[in-house]
Structure 1
Amino acid sequence: MSITDPTTGKTRFAIVPAAYVFLVRDGLHGTEVLLQLRRNTGYMDGRWAAAAAGHVEAGETAPEAAAREAAEEIGVSDLVLEFATAMQRTAHDLPIDERIDFFFVARSWLGDPRIVEPAKCADLGWWPLAALPEPLVPHEAQVLRGIRDGDLAPLTAFGF
Protein backbone atom coordinates (compact mmCIF):
# COMPACT_ATOMS: atom_id res chain seq x y z
CA MET A 1 0.00 0.00 0.00
CA SER A 2 1.26 3.47 -0.71
CA ILE A 3 0.23 6.97 0.25
CA THR A 4 0.84 10.33 -1.33
CA ASP A 5 2.52 12.95 0.84
CA PRO A 6 0.25 16.01 0.57
CA THR A 7 3.17 18.37 1.13
CA THR A 8 5.60 17.01 -1.45
CA GLY A 9 3.34 14.95 -3.72
CA LYS A 10 5.78 12.04 -3.42
CA THR A 11 4.44 8.51 -3.19
CA ARG A 12 5.59 6.67 -0.10
CA PHE A 13 4.78 3.22 1.17
CA ALA A 14 2.67 2.80 4.27
CA ILE A 15 4.07 0.72 7.10
CA VAL A 16 1.80 -1.75 8.89
CA PRO A 17 2.79 -2.33 12.53
CA ALA A 18 2.24 -5.64 14.32
CA ALA A 19 3.01 -7.01 17.77
CA TYR A 20 4.05 -10.60 18.58
CA VAL A 21 4.26 -12.39 21.94
CA PHE A 22 6.40 -15.46 22.56
CA LEU A 23 5.45 -17.01 25.91
CA VAL A 24 8.49 -18.86 27.24
CA ARG A 25 9.03 -21.12 30.24
CA ASP A 26 11.58 -23.51 31.66
CA GLY A 27 10.77 -27.07 30.56
CA LEU A 28 12.18 -30.55 30.86
CA HIS A 29 14.33 -30.02 27.76
CA GLY A 30 15.41 -26.43 28.35
CA THR A 31 13.57 -23.24 27.47
CA GLU A 32 10.22 -23.81 25.76
CA VAL A 33 8.11 -21.46 23.66
CA LEU A 34 4.35 -21.59 23.10
CA LEU A 35 3.44 -21.73 19.39
CA GLN A 36 0.19 -21.95 17.48
CA LEU A 37 -0.50 -23.78 14.23
CA ARG A 38 -2.20 -21.25 11.94
CA ARG A 39 -5.30 -22.07 9.91
CA ASN A 40 -7.97 -20.17 7.95
CA THR A 41 -6.18 -16.83 8.27
CA GLY A 42 -5.14 -16.41 4.65
CA TYR A 43 -1.49 -15.93 5.67
CA MET A 44 1.00 -18.72 6.39
CA ASP A 45 -1.71 -21.23 7.22
CA GLY A 46 -0.30 -24.63 8.14
CA ARG A 47 2.78 -23.07 9.75
CA TRP A 48 3.73 -22.73 13.40
CA ALA A 49 3.83 -19.16 14.70
CA ALA A 50 3.79 -17.01 17.82
CA ALA A 51 0.90 -18.02 20.05
CA ALA A 52 -0.34 -14.41 19.99
CA ALA A 53 0.21 -11.74 17.35
CA GLY A 54 -1.68 -9.09 15.45
CA HIS A 55 -1.83 -5.56 14.11
CA VAL A 56 -1.25 -2.56 16.32
CA GLU A 57 -4.51 -0.60 16.26
CA ALA A 58 -4.82 3.20 16.05
CA GLY A 59 -4.10 4.84 19.39
CA GLU A 60 -2.44 1.71 20.78
CA THR A 61 1.22 1.14 21.65
CA ALA A 62 2.97 -2.05 20.55
CA PRO A 63 3.06 -3.44 24.13
CA GLU A 64 -0.65 -2.69 24.52
CA ALA A 65 -1.34 -4.52 21.25
CA ALA A 66 0.74 -7.49 22.40
CA ALA A 67 -1.21 -7.71 25.66
CA ARG A 68 -4.55 -7.36 23.85
CA GLU A 69 -3.67 -10.06 21.32
CA ALA A 70 -2.55 -12.43 24.10
CA ALA A 71 -5.91 -11.99 25.84
CA GLU A 72 -7.87 -12.39 22.59
CA GLU A 73 -5.96 -15.34 21.16
CA ILE A 74 -4.75 -17.42 24.11
CA GLY A 75 -6.74 -16.10 27.09
CA VAL A 76 -3.88 -14.83 29.26
CA SER A 77 -3.46 -11.46 30.96
CA ASP A 78 -1.06 -9.44 33.09
CA LEU A 79 1.91 -10.36 30.94
CA VAL A 80 5.32 -9.12 31.93
CA LEU A 81 6.62 -8.20 28.47
CA GLU A 82 10.30 -8.02 27.58
CA PHE A 83 11.12 -6.28 24.30
CA ALA A 84 12.99 -8.69 22.02
CA THR A 85 13.41 -6.90 18.66
CA ALA A 86 11.81 -4.64 16.09
CA MET A 87 11.89 -6.13 12.60
CA GLN A 88 11.60 -4.19 9.35
CA ARG A 89 10.10 -6.61 6.87
CA THR A 90 9.42 -6.62 3.14
CA ALA A 91 8.81 -9.13 0.39
CA HIS A 92 10.46 -7.19 -2.45
CA ASP A 93 8.04 -7.01 -5.37
CA LEU A 94 5.25 -9.11 -3.87
CA PRO A 95 1.98 -7.27 -3.29
CA ILE A 96 2.22 -6.97 0.51
CA ASP A 97 2.58 -3.99 2.77
CA GLU A 98 5.87 -2.95 4.23
CA ARG A 99 5.93 -4.07 7.86
CA ILE A 100 7.40 -3.18 11.21
CA ASP A 101 7.02 -6.03 13.68
CA PHE A 102 7.52 -5.63 17.43
CA PHE A 103 8.48 -8.89 19.15
CA PHE A 104 8.08 -9.45 22.88
CA VAL A 105 8.91 -12.32 25.22
CA ALA A 106 6.76 -13.01 28.27
CA ARG A 107 8.01 -15.24 31.08
CA SER A 108 5.17 -14.34 33.45
CA TRP A 109 1.38 -14.07 32.91
CA LEU A 110 -1.94 -14.94 34.51
CA GLY A 111 -4.11 -17.75 33.21
CA ASP A 112 -3.55 -21.00 31.38
CA PRO A 113 -2.90 -20.46 27.67
CA ARG A 114 -5.62 -22.02 25.54
CA ILE A 115 -7.02 -21.78 22.03
CA VAL A 116 -9.58 -18.96 22.11
CA GLU A 117 -10.05 -18.69 18.32
CA PRO A 118 -10.34 -22.31 17.09
CA ALA A 119 -11.28 -21.19 13.57
CA LYS A 120 -7.82 -19.61 13.21
CA CYS A 121 -5.71 -21.96 15.34
CA ALA A 122 -5.44 -25.71 14.65
CA ASP A 123 -3.13 -26.48 17.57
CA LEU A 124 -1.26 -24.87 20.44
CA GLY A 125 1.81 -26.38 22.04
CA TRP A 126 5.02 -25.88 23.98
CA TRP A 127 8.21 -26.53 22.00
CA PRO A 128 11.84 -26.55 23.14
CA LEU A 129 13.72 -23.65 21.54
CA ALA A 130 16.36 -26.25 20.65
CA ALA A 131 13.81 -28.39 18.73
CA LEU A 132 11.25 -26.13 17.03
CA PRO A 133 8.52 -27.61 14.83
CA GLU A 134 8.41 -27.32 11.07
CA PRO A 135 7.26 -25.48 9.15
CA LEU A 136 7.59 -22.15 10.95
CA VAL A 137 6.61 -18.71 9.67
CA PRO A 138 10.02 -17.69 8.23
CA HIS A 139 10.46 -14.25 9.78
CA GLU A 140 9.33 -15.56 13.17
CA ALA A 141 11.81 -18.45 12.86
CA GLN A 142 14.59 -15.87 12.48
CA VAL A 143 13.55 -14.20 15.74
CA LEU A 144 13.22 -17.52 17.58
CA ARG A 145 16.73 -18.52 16.48
CA GLY A 146 18.04 -15.22 17.85
CA ILE A 147 16.24 -15.74 21.16
CA ARG A 148 17.58 -19.31 21.36
CA ASP A 149 21.15 -18.32 20.50
CA GLY A 150 21.15 -15.17 22.63
CA ASP A 151 22.30 -12.98 19.74
CA LEU A 152 19.09 -11.21 18.74
CA ALA A 153 19.78 -7.60 17.78
CA PRO A 154 17.35 -4.87 18.90
CA LEU A 155 16.69 -4.05 15.23
CA THR A 156 16.43 -6.82 12.66
CA ALA A 157 15.40 -7.04 9.02
CA PHE A 158 13.78 -9.70 6.86
CA GLY A 159 13.27 -9.93 3.11
CA PHE A 160 15.87 -7.43 2.00
Structure 2
Amino acid sequence: MTSRFVVVPASYLFLLRGDEVLLQLRQNTGYMDGHWAAAAAGHVERGETAYDAVRREALEELGLTGIEPDFEFTMQRTRGGEPIDERVDFFFTARAWSGEPRILEPDKCAALRWCRLDALPDPVVPHELMALRSLGTGARYLTHGFEGGQR
Protein backbone atom coordinates (compact mmCIF):
# COMPACT_ATOMS: atom_id res chain seq x y z
CA MET A 1 0.00 0.00 0.00
CA THR A 2 1.31 3.43 -0.92
CA SER A 3 1.43 5.93 1.90
CA ARG A 4 -0.09 9.32 1.28
CA PHE A 5 2.10 12.38 1.25
CA VAL A 6 1.50 15.16 3.71
CA VAL A 7 0.50 18.67 2.65
CA VAL A 8 1.75 21.39 4.99
CA PRO A 9 -0.27 24.65 4.88
CA ALA A 10 1.22 28.08 5.61
CA SER A 11 -0.01 31.66 5.49
CA TYR A 12 2.03 34.68 4.35
CA LEU A 13 1.32 38.37 4.83
CA PHE A 14 2.73 41.09 2.60
CA LEU A 15 2.16 44.45 4.27
CA LEU A 16 1.87 47.08 1.56
CA ARG A 17 2.46 50.83 1.82
CA GLY A 18 2.12 52.60 -1.52
CA ASP A 19 4.54 50.80 -3.86
CA GLU A 20 6.48 49.25 -0.97
CA VAL A 21 6.33 45.93 0.86
CA LEU A 22 7.64 45.17 4.34
CA LEU A 23 10.15 42.30 4.33
CA GLN A 24 12.09 40.56 7.07
CA LEU A 25 15.65 39.22 6.92
CA ARG A 26 15.61 35.60 8.13
CA GLN A 27 18.20 34.28 10.59
CA ASN A 28 18.71 31.18 12.77
CA THR A 29 15.69 29.32 11.36
CA GLY A 30 17.49 26.59 9.42
CA TYR A 31 15.59 27.55 6.25
CA MET A 32 16.68 30.29 3.86
CA ASP A 33 18.58 32.21 6.52
CA GLY A 34 20.09 35.37 5.06
CA HIS A 35 17.16 35.73 2.64
CA TRP A 36 14.46 38.39 2.66
CA ALA A 37 10.92 37.12 3.18
CA ALA A 38 7.36 38.17 4.02
CA ALA A 39 7.33 40.21 7.23
CA ALA A 40 4.89 37.71 8.80
CA ALA A 41 4.35 34.08 7.86
CA GLY A 42 3.95 30.67 9.42
CA HIS A 43 2.25 27.31 9.45
CA VAL A 44 -1.50 27.06 9.75
CA GLU A 45 -2.20 25.22 12.99
CA ARG A 46 -4.75 22.43 13.46
CA GLY A 47 -8.28 23.86 13.65
CA GLU A 48 -7.17 27.26 12.35
CA THR A 49 -8.11 28.91 9.05
CA ALA A 50 -5.46 30.44 6.80
CA TYR A 51 -7.00 33.86 7.60
CA ASP A 52 -6.72 33.26 11.35
CA ALA A 53 -3.15 32.05 10.93
CA VAL A 54 -2.03 35.18 9.09
CA ARG A 55 -3.62 37.42 11.74
CA ARG A 56 -1.93 35.38 14.51
CA GLU A 57 1.46 35.55 12.78
CA ALA A 58 1.14 39.34 12.33
CA LEU A 59 0.51 39.69 16.07
CA GLU A 60 3.23 37.21 17.15
CA GLU A 61 5.95 38.41 14.78
CA LEU A 62 5.18 42.13 14.33
CA GLY A 63 2.84 43.15 17.17
CA LEU A 64 0.10 44.19 14.73
CA THR A 65 -3.65 43.94 15.21
CA GLY A 66 -6.68 45.09 13.23
CA ILE A 67 -5.52 43.39 10.04
CA GLU A 68 -8.18 42.50 7.49
CA PRO A 69 -6.16 40.38 5.08
CA ASP A 70 -6.95 40.41 1.38
CA PHE A 71 -6.52 36.97 -0.20
CA GLU A 72 -4.23 37.12 -3.23
CA PHE A 73 -3.54 33.53 -4.32
CA THR A 74 -2.61 30.00 -3.31
CA MET A 75 0.70 28.41 -4.23
CA GLN A 76 1.28 24.67 -4.36
CA ARG A 77 4.98 23.85 -4.12
CA THR A 78 7.48 21.07 -3.90
CA ARG A 79 11.21 20.60 -4.42
CA GLY A 80 11.30 18.33 -7.45
CA GLY A 81 12.00 14.70 -6.62
CA GLU A 82 13.16 15.34 -3.07
CA PRO A 83 11.28 13.36 -0.41
CA ILE A 84 9.68 16.34 1.37
CA ASP A 85 6.18 17.17 2.34
CA GLU A 86 4.37 19.20 -0.27
CA ARG A 87 3.33 22.72 0.65
CA VAL A 88 0.21 24.76 0.10
CA ASP A 89 0.80 28.44 0.79
CA PHE A 90 -1.90 31.09 1.18
CA PHE A 91 -0.72 34.61 0.33
CA PHE A 92 -2.44 37.70 1.71
CA THR A 93 -1.85 41.44 1.55
CA ALA A 94 -2.90 44.21 3.91
CA ARG A 95 -2.74 47.97 3.53
CA ALA A 96 -4.12 48.89 6.96
CA TRP A 97 -3.39 47.70 10.51
CA SER A 98 -3.12 48.89 14.07
CA GLY A 99 0.32 49.37 15.58
CA GLU A 100 3.81 49.94 14.22
CA PRO A 101 5.54 46.83 12.80
CA ARG A 102 8.41 45.78 15.04
CA ILE A 103 10.60 42.72 15.45
CA LEU A 104 9.16 40.49 18.19
CA GLU A 105 11.25 37.41 17.32
CA PRO A 106 14.80 38.82 17.16
CA ASP A 107 16.27 35.32 17.23
CA LYS A 108 14.61 34.61 13.84
CA CYS A 109 14.48 38.07 12.25
CA ALA A 110 17.63 40.17 11.77
CA ALA A 111 15.88 43.19 10.23
CA LEU A 112 12.66 44.65 8.85
CA ARG A 113 12.80 46.83 5.75
CA TRP A 114 10.30 48.62 3.53
CA CYS A 115 11.29 47.74 -0.05
CA ARG A 116 9.99 49.01 -3.35
CA LEU A 117 8.17 46.25 -5.21
CA ASP A 118 10.15 47.11 -8.35
CA ALA A 119 13.52 47.09 -6.50
CA LEU A 120 13.47 44.10 -4.14
CA PRO A 121 16.59 43.22 -2.15
CA ASP A 122 18.69 40.18 -3.01
CA PRO A 123 18.25 37.41 -2.14
CA VAL A 124 14.53 36.83 -1.56
CA VAL A 125 13.22 33.36 -0.68
CA PRO A 126 12.57 31.97 -4.23
CA HIS A 127 8.89 31.01 -3.90
CA GLU A 128 8.16 34.29 -2.11
CA LEU A 129 9.91 36.23 -4.87
CA MET A 130 7.60 34.50 -7.35
CA ALA A 131 4.63 35.49 -5.16
CA LEU A 132 5.78 39.12 -4.91
CA ARG A 133 6.15 39.30 -8.69
CA SER A 134 2.64 37.84 -9.07
CA LEU A 135 0.90 40.50 -6.95
CA GLY A 136 -1.57 42.46 -9.04
CA THR A 137 -1.54 40.01 -11.96
CA GLY A 138 -4.90 38.44 -11.13
CA ALA A 139 -3.29 35.02 -10.61
CA ARG A 140 -5.23 32.85 -8.14
CA TYR A 141 -3.19 29.64 -8.25
CA LEU A 142 0.59 29.34 -8.58
CA THR A 143 2.94 26.38 -8.57
CA HIS A 144 6.62 26.30 -7.65
CA GLY A 145 9.10 23.45 -8.04
CA PHE A 146 7.01 21.20 -10.27
CA GLU A 147 8.15 20.13 -13.72
CA GLY A 148 6.28 22.06 -16.37
CA GLY A 149 5.77 25.09 -14.11
CA GLN A 150 2.54 27.03 -14.13
CA ARG A 151 -0.78 25.67 -15.29
TM band (smaller chain): over 0.9
- The total of aligned residue pairs comes to 146
Correspondences of 1:117-132 after superposition (within 5 Å): 117-132=105-120
For residue 19 of structure 1, report the CA deviation from its aligned partner.
Answer: 0.3
Structure 1 gaps of 5+ residues are: 1-8
For residue 146 of structure 1, report the CA deviation from its aligned partner.
Answer: 1.1
Look up the match of 2:97: 109
1:21 aligns to 2:7 (yes or no):
no
Look up the match of 2:145: 159
Letter in 1 for 2:89: D
Distance 2:55 2:14 in 1: 11
For residue 96 of structure 1, report the CA deviation from its aligned partner.
Answer: 2.4
Query: Is the CA contact 1:143–1:152 (under 8 Å) kept in the aligned structure 2?
Result: no
My pick for the range that moved more, 63-72 or 91-100, is: 91-100
- Which structure has the larger Rg over C-alpha atoms? 1
Q: CA RMSD for the aligned pairs?
A: 0.9
1:90 aligns to 2:74 (yes or no):
no
Distance 1:142 1:15 in 2: 20
Distance 1:152 1:94 in 2: 30
For residue 152 of structure 1, report the CA deviation from its aligned partner.
Answer: 4.3
Look up the match of 2:43: 55
- Whichever structure has more strand as a proportion of its residues is 1
Q: So what's the TM-score if we normalise by structure 1? A: 0.89
Distance 2:5 2:86 in 1: 7
1:39 aligns to 2:31 (yes or no):
no
Distance 2:25 2:84 in 1: 22
Partner secondary structure for residue 112 of structure 1: coil
Q: So what's the TM-score if we normalise by structure 2? A: 0.94
Look up the match of 1:3: none
Distance 2:56 2:76 in 1: 22
The partner residue of 1:65 within 41, 53, 56 is 53
Distance 1:71 1:89 in 2: 26
**Identical columns (%):** 60
Distance 2:6 2:138 in 1: 26
Moved over 3 A (4+): none
Structure 2 gaps of 5+ residues are: 147-151
Query: Is the CA contact 1:84–1:105 (under 8 Å) kept in the aligned structure 2?
Result: yes
The partner residue of 1:141 within 122, 129, 138 is 129
Distance 2:59 2:83 in 1: 31
Distance 1:95 1:18 in 2: 19
Look up the match of 1:6: none
